[in-house]
Structure 1
Amino acid sequence: MILGRNPVIEALRNEREMEKLLVAKGAEGSIKKIVGMAKEKHIPMTLVDKVTLDRLAEGQPHQGVVAYVSSYSYCDVEDILDIAKERQEPPFIMILDNLEDPHNLGAIMRTGEACGVHGIIIPKRRAVGITDVVAKASAGAVEYMACAKVSNIAQTIESLKEKGVWVYACHMDGETYYKTDLKGPAAIVIGSEGAGISRLVREKCDFAVSIPMVGKITSLNASNAAAILMCEVRKQRDAGRV
């Protein structure tokens, strides 16, 4: 399921295969736009009570609309590199090492799409995948962001390095991120919420970059740290074009 008005609108715009749409009775505003788009695409719609949507959403905000869609189609790592080639840009990839919170994954996809990330790599096991919660948190970015699931993050890093991609670990012992050259082919590794980046994955990375912390809190939420680094890559790349 996809929950919420913006995620559903983006799914419709992106021609996502949609099985049916449930709309709350009496819903107004952008719901009318969603209904119009669905009618144009001949997508079955049903008007339901809000309590029905509440039950289906299991506590997640749905804003009066729920869409049933086909399962998310994961890509291969090569597909992500091909996207960079098509855009004639050096690869810009996010690698998430055992991230568990769907809200973090959704937020990273949202920021990544805005910053020009070509794709995200996640592990097949012991990590969150693309769910309706992720789709909601991404505010529709899941429809545009390529995501590859791999069996072994460390081996994937080795493969990327062989293809000329520099790999940067987000780690407290690294060089300050804004003093690091991030303009070339880059993959940034973000660790899990609790344990951070695993030892083996950290050892495979070319460099480590850190975010200076001057307060009493010694670490940032994974999606916040990722956002800072993604925006820095975007800033450096844009400055290099001037």
Structure 2
Amino acid sequence: MPGNSRRRGAMRKPGTKKGMQVGSGGQRRRGLEGKGPTPRAEERTGHPKARRAASKARAEDQGPRRQTAVRGRPGTAETVAGRNAVVEALRAEIPVKALYVAERIDSDERVREVLKLASDRRLPLLEAPRSELDRVTGGAVHQGLALTVPAYEYAHPDDLLEAAHNAGEVPLVVAVDGVTDPRNLGAVVRSTAAFGGHGVLIPERRSASMTAGAWKTSAGAAARIRVARATNLARQLRAYREAGLFVIGLDGDGELEIADAATLAEPMCLVVGSEGAGMSRVVAQACDLVVRIPITREVESLNAGVAAGVALYEIARARR
């Protein structure tokens, strides 16, 4: 009956009334409570320091790292870390800014040789705690020895031609395209010096640079042969053509064998590509002639250092 509040469904159950309820259910109280101390940056997911810490932990799990050279941005100094690496660098007479030796280092034959070579060259010797060597080498395994190597001073591409003219010789420049291994670049520099070249040209991007590894492989030739950088390699090759150089590229599918080329005694720029991809399309189009080195079918290609040495020998033989 109307007005009978006792009938079933006539009244709402407690807590089901529409609209704002009395109180906030503790939400405001919990909002005023502290959340505890702010976690460290290394503990925050996604923070750069947390990513670096995770990367360092993974590297430690993988075991000791190889003794190597620690590089910074292009144009900055380079650090060579590890006893074997430092000994080899000093034997190759790489330019050195400073030699770091850890305090109370355990001496062995390598350490004694390093100290003797440093004394003979009168290199700046810095004795430092291991924490300082860790900072200098960026955490690399240094075994108490590290070298800082100054950034290489590249020449201008025109300087290579000027060196030939000053010597009264027929210009011979070697350009490398796509060579990313510093040891291959060092081998090219060494072959260029051995066969009378006047310089090596490399592109600024996607190319090996004159690191400590390249210096060692060149066996001191880097101190006698200038290395220049080109912003655009194909454009610089066209500039060399306008300056009177004959540009010859090396490729496995070349038009003829290099020994059959009739222009080897002329002013020349020899272009060497990488072992896998060879020269890029735009660089190959900038060449006057593309030649090949005859090899057996069992071997698909030669690396850049070997190919440059063979080709430069043929050029030197033709010029004699």
Residue in 2 aligned with 1:43?
A: 124
Q: How many angstroms apart in 2 are the aligned matches of 1:9 and 1:218?
A: 34
Root-mean-square deviation over aligned CA pairs? 3.0
The answer on 1:76 being equivalent to 2:156 is yes
Which has the greater radius of gyration? 2
Judged with a 3 Å threshold, the aligned counterparts in structure 2 of structure 1 residues 4 and 186 are, in CA distance, closer, same or farther, namely farther
Change beyond 3 A, Cα 1:128–1:35: closer
Task: Give matches, 1:63-142, under 5 Å.
Answer: 67-142=147-222
Amino acid at match of 1:194: G
Matches within 5 A, 1:22-33: 22=100, 25-27=107-109, 31=114
Q: Per-residue displacement from partner, 1:114-172 (whole Å, max 9, x unpaired)?
A: 22221111111111112222222222222222111111111101110111111001022
CA contact (8 A) 2:275 2:301 kept: no
The AA in structure 2 aligned to 1:201 is V
- For residue 72 of structure 1, give the secondary structure of its aligned residue in structure 2: coil
Q: Name the structure 1 match of 2:258.
A: 177
Number of the residue aligned with 1:207: 289
Within the alignment, does 1:154 sit opposite 2:230 as a pair? no
1:198 aligns with 2:276: no
Name the CA shift for 1:80/1:33 in 2 (closer, same or farther; >3 Å). farther
Determine whether 1:236 maps to 2:318: yes
SS, match of residue 109 in structure 2: coil
What corresponds to 1:221 in structure 2? 303
Can you list the C-alpha shifts for 1:76-95, whole angstroms capped at 9, x where unaligned? Answer: 01111111112211111111
User: 2: distance between equivalents of 1:104 and 1:118?
Assistant: 18
- Distance of 1:106 and 1:168 partners within structure 2: 21
SS across alignment from 1:173:
coil
Q: Per the alignment, in what secondary structure is the counterpart of residue 35 of structure 1?
A: helix
Dislocated runs of 4+, deviation >4 Å: 2-7, 28-33, 45-49, 55-59
User: Structure 2, unaligned stretches of length 5 or more?
Assistant: 1-78
Change (3 A) 1:80 1:6: farther
Structure 1 unaligned residues grouped into runs of 5+: none
The DSSP-based 3-state class of the residue aligned with 2:265 is coil
SS of residue in 2 equivalent to 1:79? helix
1:68-109 CA-to-partner distances (Å, cap 9, x unmatched) read 221100110111111111221111111111211222111111
Between structures 1 and 2, the one with greater strand share: 1
The verdict on how the C-alpha distance between 1:5 and 1:158 changes in structure 2, with shifts beyond 3 A counting, is same
Q: Which amino acid aligns with 1:94?
A: V
1:106 is aligned with what amino acid? Answer: G
**Identity among equivalent pairs (%):** 29
Conserved 8 A contact 2:174-2:270: yes
CA contact (8 A) 2:90 2:114 kept: no
Rounded Cα–Cα distance in structure 2 between residues aligned with 1:168 and 1:148: 18
C-alpha distance 58-84 of structure 1, shift in aligned 2 (>3 A): farther
